[in-house]
Homo-oligomer: A and B are copies of this chain.
């Protein structure tokens, strides 16, 4: 297996094209992102991932912007360069302003800090949080 390569629409199987078409229609975009072109190497993985992402990111009890902010928060915590870039763009498209991004980073930074302080001081869970 050499380094994974993207599969473009032109070279894609009908099965993969159907997913690409659904992504393009759902997101009103001309072409799918690299992420989907790489997953296309495994059509079952592509299909399952797209249907899951589509279902999960549909506005419900949480609106689309909030969901994208959460996606960025996780991606920044994990240090996934691709995901930070793509979901920052998606969040901006959903309405994230520069001020919101600054506050998002502030919360993410603080949470990553206090998570470790709680670990290091071995803080037991308060009884009130166990009910």
Closest to A125 in B: B85
A96 proximity list for chain B (CB < 8 A): 1
A122 to chain B, nearest CB (A): 6
The verdict on A103 contacting B67 (CB below 8 Å), with A85-B122, A112-B113, A119-B84 known, is yes
Closest to A51 in B: B48
**Cβ 8 A contact of A49, one of B61, B100, B114, B131:** B114
**Cβ 8 A contact of A122, one of B3, B57, B112:** B3
* A 71-90 contacts with B by CB, 8 A: 71-89
The verdict on A107 contacting B48 (CB below 8 Å), with A2-B131, A74-B74, A85-B122 known, is no
* A 95-127 contacts with B by CB, 8 A: 96-126
* A 25-48 contacts with B by CB, 8 A: 33-35, 38-39, 41-42, 44-45, 48
Total copies of this chain within the assembly: 6
Are A39 and B89 in contact, with the CB atoms below 8 A?
no
**Cβ 8 A contact of A79, one of B79, B98, B106, B126:** B79
**Cβ 8 A contact of A77, one of B78, B85, B105:** B78
Residue A91 at the B interface, CB < 8 A? yes
A44 proximity list for chain B (CB < 8 A): 55, 102, 106
A37 to chain B, nearest CB (A): 8
